[in-house]
Chains A and B, each alone.
Chain A
Amino acid sequence: MASFDVIVVGGGPAGYICAIRAAQLSQSVALIEQEKLGGVCVNIGCIPTKALLHSAYIAMLLKESKEFGVEASGVKTDYGVAMKRSRRVSDQNSKGVEFLMKKHKITVVKGTGVLQPGKKVKVGKDVYEAKKAVVVATGSRVKGIPQIGLEINKTTVISSDEALLLERVPESLVIIGAGAVGMEFADIFAAFGVKVTLIEALPRILPIEDAESSDVLTKSYRKRGIEVIASAKVTKANVGKDKVTLDVEAGEGGEKKQVSAAAVLMAAGRAVNTENIGLKECGIQLTDRGFIKVDKNLQTTAAGYYAIGDVAGPPMLAHKGFREGSVVAEITAGQKPHPIRYDNVPSVTYCHPEVASIGLTEDQCKEQKLDYVAGRFPFSANGRARGTGETEGFVKILRDKKYGEILGAHIVGAHASEMIHELAVARENEYTVEEIDLAIHAHPTMSEAVGEAALDSLGRVLHM
């Protein structure tokens, strides 16, 4: 029986980073993966969608290029071509992970890992034994809403898995769920000429983001011809062969509407992969919400078994999984890693304009009765943004009134995903808005808006 210091089950972001970090710390590592390395993120999630979003961005730019003195005629979009490019990007990344496994002398086992008591993992007929730890990183998958007759049938009711592999776009599409996934696909398909209807059960799209962020995106999407229906309840679904009709009650009044489209994309909810992997047999318990129960060191209820990434609980984000993987690898190596600050995980949606945030929303500040001041700066007042014509959005910083602690920060705009990290560093190091201002921001940049928002929270905004 082959034995390793650490056995990682699942080769997604959490798992492969855990393997690399464990190997860096001179531990022998086996990584078990039933499909391609890189998991959902690399193969059917973050990475291919970013490729498609860039295709969408180019299509959008070309529509407006005349205004910039560049006339493009005969512009045609072909989703199949964009899709194939996105596949190549995914494959490159997956191969990149393979290379990293080789580089760190990690044994990659192809197959489905099933946990066994005594820190063992069975793959097919082979059993592997862990000397230090078994790490569960089996991730999550999309799920439909079977209760209302919207079970994924892969033709007219699809998930992101199918949407990423379409050769041709449908004529019209209803997207259910306006979180990051729904928002990004709405952006992509609208740019490829699809008539998109975006349906969200909660009162606003991007429900976990700040209300002002949702407002900007609602306006921006409607301007682009995307129909946005919030506070919507799908009461009945009629799934035909090439058409789906939904009965929707929308808004507070429960106004009844019928929405039909060539296809429905289910972008609401994910299910964690906890079935048939031997959790119960090893004494690993789940939480009420179905995640694996872990302590502050990410150890499960069974000693020597850890859980990281989506299975270990929300937020279900690759970068949260990365950090958990790294932390567990350090724990198994006997180190005492810096504890993860779950309140400091940035949240990013790569629609246009991008939405990025960290910490509390303004509503949360109010709910928690915090004494806060909001500082804002719109990109319409930012020189760089005017230059590129990307003036949608703003930076908003919520600071504690007394000490200037950055309670939350919200950026909507081009490259928001890149700009949020200034605030992530600030929060991790407990910088206050004054340190944000003291750091000199290059001119002209979009990032200047971050400094200005910090100043605005102090009542000293300069360019407004």
Chain B
Amino acid sequence: MATKVHMEALSPTMEEGRLVKWTKHEGDAVKSGDTLAEVETDKAVMELVARADGQLIKVTVPEGTTVPVGNVVAWIGKPGEKVDGAGGAEPATAAPKPAPAAAAPAAKAPAPAPVPGAAASDATRVKASPLAKRIAKEAGVDLKLVQGSGPGGRVIKRDVEAAPTPVAAPAAPTPRPTYHAPRTGAPYEDVPLTQIRKTIAKRLVASIGPIPHFFLTTEIDMERAAEAREALNKQLGEAGGKISFNDIIIKAVALALVQHRACNAWFQEDHIRYWNEVHIGMAVAIEDGLITPVIRHADLKSLRDIGAESRDLAAKARNRRLKPEEYTGSTFSVSNLGMFDIDQFTAVINPPEAGIVAIGTIVPKAVPEGDRVLVRRRLRVTMSCDHRVIDGATGAAYLKTLKQMLENPLAMLL
């Protein structure tokens, strides 16, 4: 008997999908796991794969059509096999094969998302042992980021224990958040809102929109960063993978956050989540909008790795090929319009993050130094802060560190 191919819920919030392109056509032999078509979801272009072996005997949905999740889009069967009602849409309750019971309701209601911002990344089911899941949950390790070594790539205890965040020693509870992020322990710490913070939150929201933004601007001398960049690129030579200003800025932003955990945080309505890990969202303009791919653990990565990763993520973003786990979970963001000759601008915060820095263009300026006037390359950086989390002085202290880092790039080696 022929097998139906359904439009599957490729992200937990997906209710319908646009069939962008059939990669297999009627008459093609297909094996389970083969990509049949590219489907545009609410988040990205994803692959619809075959769940059966045989021949693609009938395609019922032409390219460009938008189809509700659960509808039949094609049939797989034996060559010459007839399918009944081919072309007829199935009621949306027809569940895609891999998750017969769960998929249909999931398509209707967005999946419960305990961690805002991480919801979309749950689209890919993680195979993990119950013990591994429990240890990961306690330690706050994201199983999706763990490479499994069990049968069929299943994540087992050993893998979670070897994951970047040590599970053995969750951060000791501290009465007040320490503003220097510990390098080991849980990835974040939730601190309940104090009464004063609640009042500040309420009053500021009443004043300007759901996120009470305020902005801090500073001008940074990039002369030494530029020299460092030239030297590094000379060193890399033909090896490829040139380091850009953007890479240096991302690294500096991340390292400065390590020293200012108060800015590396999520506002979570009744508490603030202070992250011990630094994941930098990097705003990338795409044809019909904007997406923020994430460079995870940017504080721990080399400039070269950041460069390679950001180029890769930006390319994927432009081709709408980002996987959910590649654009969720950032703890702080950077928006760079330097290449558009913008001197200075304000960026809008990417909730639930508490801050974003807007990077302008680097311009030579006349700068007085002592009794001389020098021409120096200067950069204007504007930080947008969520006032419910970050106060003026807190943001200013962060910016000061960022400025010091960029003005003396050697400090990043400390």
Please report A residues at the B interface, Cβ cutoff 8 Å: 338, 402-405, 429-432, 434-435
Contacts and interface: CB of A to CB of B under 8 A. Distances in A.
B410 interface: no
A431 B131 contact: yes
Interface string B364-393: 000000000000000000000000000000
B322 interface: no
Kindly name the residue among B131, B156, B157 whose own CB sees the greatest number of chain A CB atoms within 10 A: B131
A430 B130 contact: yes
A430 B132 contact: yes
A272 B138 CA distance: 46
Interface string B102-133: 00000000000000000000000000011110
A431 B151 contact: no
B129 A431 contact: yes
Contacts of B129: 429-431
Interface in B136-170: 138, 151, 156-157
Contacts of B130: 429-432, 434-435
Nearest to B158: A430
A415 to B, nearest CB: 26
A402 B138 contact: yes
B151 A338 contact: yes
B320 to A, nearest CB: 36
Nearest to A404: B134
A432 B130 CA distance: 7
A432 B151 contact: no
B135 interface: yes
26 contacts: A338-B151, A402-B138, A403-B131, A403-B134, A403-B135, A403-B138, A404-B131, A404-B134, A405-B131, A405-B157, A429-B129, A429-B130, A430-B129, A430-B130, A430-B131, A430-B132, A430-B156, A430-B157, A431-B129, A431-B130, A431-B131, A432-B130, A432-B131, A432-B134, A434-B130, A435-B130
**A-B CB proximity, top 7 nearest:** A430-B129, A430-B131, A403-B134, A405-B131, A431-B130, A435-B130, A432-B130
Interface residues of B, number: 10
A327 to B, nearest CB: 14
A435 B128 CA distance: 14
A431 B134 CA distance: 10
Given A430-B132, A435-B130, 15 more contacts: A402-B138, A403-B131, A403-B135, A404-B131, A404-B134, A405-B157, A429-B129, A429-B130, A430-B129, A430-B130, A431-B130, A432-B130, A432-B131, A432-B134, A434-B130
Contacts of B132: 430
Nearest to B156: A430
Nearest to B137: A403
A420 to B, nearest CB: 19
Contacts of A402: 138
Nearest to A431: B130
Contacts of A435: 130
Nearest to A429: B129
Contacts of A434: 130
A405 B138 CA distance: 14
A5 to B, nearest CB: 26
A113 B129 CA distance: 44
A434 B134 CA distance: 11
Nearest to A435: B130
A220 B259 CA distance: 66
A364 B134 CA distance: 24
A416 to B, nearest CB: 24
Contacts of B134: 403-404, 432
Kindly name the residue among A430, A431, A432, A435 whose own CB sees the greatest number of chain B CB atoms within 10 A: A430
A438 to B, nearest CB: 10
Contacts of A429: 129-130
Contacts of B157: 405, 430
Contacts of B151: 338
A434 B151 CA distance: 22
B154 to A, nearest CB: 9
Kindly name the residue among A404, A432, A434, A435 whose own CB sees the greatest number of chain B CB atoms within 10 A: A432
Interface in B184-198: none
A432 B135 CA distance: 11
A406 to B, nearest CB: 9
B413 to A, nearest CB: 38
Nearest to A438: B130
Contacts of B138: 402-403
A340 to B, nearest CB: 13
Nearest to B131: A430
A149 to B, nearest CB: 49
A338 B151 CA distance: 7
A220 B129 CA distance: 39
Contacts of B131: 403-405, 430-432
A148 B157 CA distance: 48
Contacts of B135: 403
A324 B134 CA distance: 31
Nearest to B167: A403
A242 B34 CA distance: 77
A126 to B, nearest CB: 41
Interface in B316-362: none
A338 B135 CA distance: 22
A434 B135 CA distance: 14
Kindly name the residue among A405, A434, A435 whose own CB sees the greatest number of chain B CB atoms within 10 A: A405
B130 to A, nearest CB: 5
A403 B138 CA distance: 9
Kindly name the residue among B129, B151, B157 whose own CB sees the greatest number of chain A CB atoms within 10 A: B129
A293 to B, nearest CB: 25
A372 B134 CA distance: 16
A404 to B, nearest CB: 7
A429 B131 CA distance: 9
B172 to A, nearest CB: 16
Contacts of A338: 151
A242 B130 CA distance: 60
A435 B135 CA distance: 15
A108 B129 CA distance: 42
